[in-house]
Each structure stands twice: as C-alpha cells, then as structure tokens.
C-alpha cells in the first residue's frame, strides 16, 4: 500500500500542498481542487500546470476526484446540493456525461486512469426503485470508461444514496462492470450509521480499488459524528489497515482529512498524516506477526 493525499485538504495552492506532502514522504496526489477551480471545471492549462508540478517533484497523480453524479436523479430535486461540491459548479443530470468526459481528458493529461464518482444526492431513503435507477445510470458511464481505458471509483458518500459498504457492494454487483469499482471510505460509512470495519469492509472488499482515509467519533453528549485526527476516532483503522495488508491490497490510501480542529487545513492534515503513518507502522507489525 502507498499513501496519497487529496491535495486541497492541505491547501488549494497545489505546489504548496505537494511540498508539504513531500515532507512526509508522500508522492501520490489525488486531485480535486487546483488553485481556484475544481478539476472538473478547470481549463486545460491548469491540468498541464499540475502535471508539471508533480513531475518536478517526482510525484504522480493517483486519481481525479470528480463531482460526477453529485446531482439529482430524474424526477427528484432539492433547493441546494445535499453535500459539498468542493468548488465544483452545480450541474444537473443532463450535463453529467460532459463532466465525465472532461475528467477523462484531465486524467489523460495527468497520466492516471482513476476517476472518483458518486451516486446522486440523497433526497429520501434508499428504495429498490432508486437503487435500480442508480444501476441503470451507470450503464453509459461504464461503457465510456471501458472504451477509454478508465476506471470509475464509486465512493460511498453519506450525502448520496449509496453511503455504506453493503450498499456499494450490492450496487456494484448489479452494475457488473470491471470499469466500475469501489472507492472505500470508512469515514463516510460511519457517518451513515454502518460499522466500517469489519462489517462494511467485509461486504465491499472484493470491489475495493482505492481507499479514502479520515476518522470520526461521536463526542460525549453529542448526537452526531464529527471528524477527528486519524487514529483518534471510533473507526478501527488499525484493524482496517491490517486487513488490507493481509489481503495483498496494493492500491493507495488517500488522506481526505475533513477534520479542521488544529486551526487550519494544513495543520489538521499534518496531524492526520502523522496519525496515519503511526497506524501504518503498527499495521505492518501486526501483519508480519500473523
């Protein structure tokens, strides 16, 4: 396993974020915001500038963190997005294939084949009909990705209909395409009420192509989770990382901090990177002993 970071969790200034990552020996970058624009909305010159910044530091892009399918299903609408768009322009369903095609172009410039995707804003409870609509909506994107040599990573997201490992596995089984796999996010699963490890992971593990790392806890006296330093929350990250090592997982662990309790994004991400590195050392020891 290798570590990467969603760079704007440190700073929107890509070059500065990359320099911070190098302090921790991290050479994989998942790209979402590039300076003042979301990658899906950025002009070509931003992608080329990002590639040059990566090359100059001996680093690589490991994925395009797109906002694809962060929109409403047909016949469903809300006044506002149900979750964060991270500076992306809000677009309806009719524009989503254009978003995907733009992100494929970005991925080619950046020399990566992974594009993160979602499962529509959650406006109600997940029903069998909604689940089937989600599966149907992936027919064309899966065909496009396969023809372009790209891999769509469906992230479980609690602001979208598919929020847990179990739901992700069920939908991916129905999509049944090698071009659509899972970006496993235990933090999002926890926010959605699932025990991420071992429960959620056991359900989704055969589909996992990429992993997002963040931690959360329900503070004493609170009724809902809050983000925290990786390793200091309720998610069994030591167990999760050990299981990934034992399974032979060779993909990336991509820090998606979200926590901001250290006064700034950079300071909070530094704390989380340090926490993740401590956990990885412990997981290595446990995997060797098994």
Convert the pLDDT of each residue in 101-133 to its tens digit: 999 999 999 999 999 999 999 999 999 999 999
pTM to 2 decimals? 0.97
Measure the CA–CA gap between 18 and 265, rounded to whole angstroms: 14
Report pLDDT for 47: 98
Q: Please, what is the Cα angle at 137 between 64 and 71, to 5 degrees?
A: 60
Measure the CA–CA gap between 177 and 199, rounded to whole angstroms: 24
DSSP state of 177: -
Report pLDDT for 200: 98
β-pairing, 226-228 vs 215-217, is: antiparallel
What is the number of residues in the chain?
Answer: 290
In the chain, what are the domains?
Answer: 2-289 (3.20.20.150)
In contact, 141 and 62? CB cutoff 8 Å: no
In contact, 217 and 183? CB cutoff 8 Å: no
Measure the CA–CA gap between 267 and 265, rounded to whole angstroms: 6
Report pLDDT for 87: 87
Report pLDDT for 287: 75
Backbone angles phi, psi at 172, to 5 degrees: -65, -35
Report pLDDT for 76: 81
Which phi-psi region, left, alpha or beta, contains residue 76 (left: φ > 0; alpha: ψ -120 to 50)?
beta
* Residue ranges of the chain whose pLDDT lies below 50: none
Report pLDDT for 124: 94
Report pLDDT for 289: 73
């Amino acid at each position: 396993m290798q570590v990467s970071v969603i760079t704007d969790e440190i700073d929107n200034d890509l070059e500065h974020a990359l320099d911070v990552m190098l302090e921790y020996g991290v050479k994989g970058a998942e790209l979402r915001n590039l300076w003042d624009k979301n990658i899906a909305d950025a002009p070509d010159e931003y992608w080329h500038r990002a590639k040059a910044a990566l090359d100059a530091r001996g680093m690589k892009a490991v994925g395009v963190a797109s906002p694809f399918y962060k929109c409403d299903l047909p016949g469903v609408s809300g006044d506002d997005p149900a979750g964060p768009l991270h500076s992306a322009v809000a677009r309806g369903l009719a524009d989503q294939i254009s978003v995907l095609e733009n992100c494929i172009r970005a991925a080619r410039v950046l020399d990566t084949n992974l594009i993160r995707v979602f499962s529509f804003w959650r406006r109600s409870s997940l029903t069998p009909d909604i689940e089937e609509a989600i599966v149907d909506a992936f027919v064309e994107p899966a065909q496009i990705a396969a023809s372009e040599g790209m891999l769509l990573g469906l992230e479980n997201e609690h602001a979208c209909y598919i929020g847990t490992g179990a739901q992700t596995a069920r939908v991916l089984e129905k999509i049944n395409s090698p071009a659509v796999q899972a970006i496993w996010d235990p933090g999002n699963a926890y926010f959605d009420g699932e025990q991420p490890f071992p429960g959620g992971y056991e359900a989704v593990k055969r589909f996992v192509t990429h992993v997002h790392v963040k931690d959360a806890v329900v503070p004493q006296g609170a009724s809902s989770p809050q983000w925290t330093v990786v390793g200091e929350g309720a998610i069994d990250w030591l167990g999760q990382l050990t299981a990934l090592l034992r399974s032979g997982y060779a993909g990336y662990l991509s820090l998606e901090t979200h926590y901001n309790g250290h006064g700034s994004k950079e300071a909070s991400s530094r704390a989380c990177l340090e926490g993740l590195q401590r956990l990885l050392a412990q997981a290595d020891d446990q995997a060797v002993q098994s």
